[in-house]
Amino acid sequence: MDNSKVTPMLHNCNIVVVGGTSGIGRSAALAFLKQGARLVVIGPDPDGCLQMEREMGDMGKVLQGDARKVGTVDKAIEMCTEEWGSCDGLYHVAGGSGRTWGDGPLHEMSVEGWDKTLELNLTSVMLSNRAAIQFFLKTGQPGTILNVSSVLSMYPSPTHFATHAYATAKSAIIGLSKALAAHYAPDDIRVNVICPALVDTPMSARARNNEEIMDYIKRKQPLAGGRVGFTSDLDGLACYFMSDQSRFTTGQVISVDGGWSVSEGYRNE
């Protein structure tokens, strides 16, 4: 087979990646580029934005902005259409821990921890998805949206990852995504969800530096020797959902979790 004649999976696809300058989003953005996509990437950090701009070259644009703010993703979609002629899909990765604001077990949680964690992880998704759907409806074109939730939305860890506002937000992403998938299917707009377990990103540093948690992870994520996930572990599924190969798939929630959802994680001693 002559691989030089194989059309890349995302050839001529124009995608907005929300939270695409670090971690899971950055890895996906670079994978999308390799598959022929053209991108607009949103990130909050000036240094991360500059580095990503260099890595993407002529096939990507960067918007420094806060996904929690009204209009940020709308602006990115506008950039995408002005630069590439259209916007075909949105991948929302942006989110993070609310521990510094007071997220934790409910009896210890602060109201600020609740509010800010939901704003970062849920309100941002509502705003980005709304912007994408408004664009698809206005232009009358089909489109794809992929949101990142977490295995904690369905398979909680009672001791080591007891951040209840975070789990709530990630669960709500699934509910929102399924509702959108059902409502907008007649418009040929599909909405799906990826649920990662513990992945090697800046957010997971606390867990990765804790010997007790890593012992737990070895049993909870037993695939590939019992390791923390790589950001690249999610790239293949992300490419699928952003491509026409998923044109008949919507409202689906798939875990990329190393076995988290089917493993106990504790020693039977």
Cβ-based burial of 70 (10 A; exposed 0-12, middle 13-18, buried ≥19): exposed
In this predicted model, what pLDDT tens digit does every residue of 6-61 receive, in sequence order? 899 999 999 999 999 999 999 999 999 999 999 999 999 999 999 999 999 999 99
User: What is the predicted pLDDT for the residue at 2?
Assistant: 59
One-letter amino acid at 200 equals: D
Are the C-beta atoms of 156 and 216 separated by less than 8 Å?
no
Domains by residue range for the chain, with CATH: 9-254 (3.40.50.720)
Mean pLDDT of 231-255: 98
Per DSSP, 199 falls in state: B
d(CA 170, CA 163): 11
Confidence of residue 202 (pLDDT cuts 50, 70, 90): confident
* Residues contacting residue 218 through CB under 8 Å, at least 6 positions apart: 226, 227
The token pair that represents 136 in the structure block: 């698809």
The token pair that represents 51 in the structure block: 């580095």
* Residues contacting residue 111 through CB under 8 Å, at least 6 positions apart: 102
Task: Give the rounded percent of residues in the chain with a pLDDT score beyond 70.
Answer: 97
d(CA 191, CA 106): 30
Q: Does the pLDDT at position 203 exceed 80?
A: no
d(CA 200, CA 204): 6
In this predicted model, what pLDDT tens digit does every residue of 100-150 receive, in sequence order? 999 999 999 999 999 999 999 999 999 999 999 999 999 999 999 999 999
In this predicted model, what pLDDT tens digit does every residue of 59-98 receive, in sequence order? 999 999 999 999 999 999 999 999 999 999 999 999 999 9
Q: Does the pLDDT at position 267 exceed 80?
A: no
Residue 129 Cα distances to 5, 73, 91, angstroms: 35, 9, 9
- pTM > 0.75: yes or no: yes
* Residues contacting residue 93 through CB under 8 Å, at least 6 positions apart: 17, 18, 19, 20, 23, 24, 25, 28, 148
The token pair that represents 112 in the structure block: 């600020």
- Kind and range of the H or E element at 116? helix 111-118
User: What is the predicted pLDDT for the residue at 269?
Assistant: 40
Q: 109 in the Ramachandran plot: left (φ > 0), alpha (ψ -120 to 50) or beta?
A: beta
Confidence of residue 204 (pLDDT cuts 50, 70, 90): confident
In this predicted model, what pLDDT tens digit does every residue of 162-184 receive, in sequence order? 999 999 999 999 999 999 999 99
Q: Does the pLDDT at position 225 exceed 60?
A: yes
* Residues contacting residue 40 through CB under 8 Å, at least 6 positions apart: 14, 15, 16, 17, 60, 61, 62, 63, 76, 77, 79, 80, 83, 87
Q: Does the pLDDT at position 268 exceed 90?
A: no
User: What is the predicted pLDDT for the residue at 266?
Assistant: 74
Mean pLDDT of 171-200: 97
Cα dihedral 257, 260, 262, 264, rounded to 10, equals 170
Q: Of how many residues is the chain composed?
A: 269
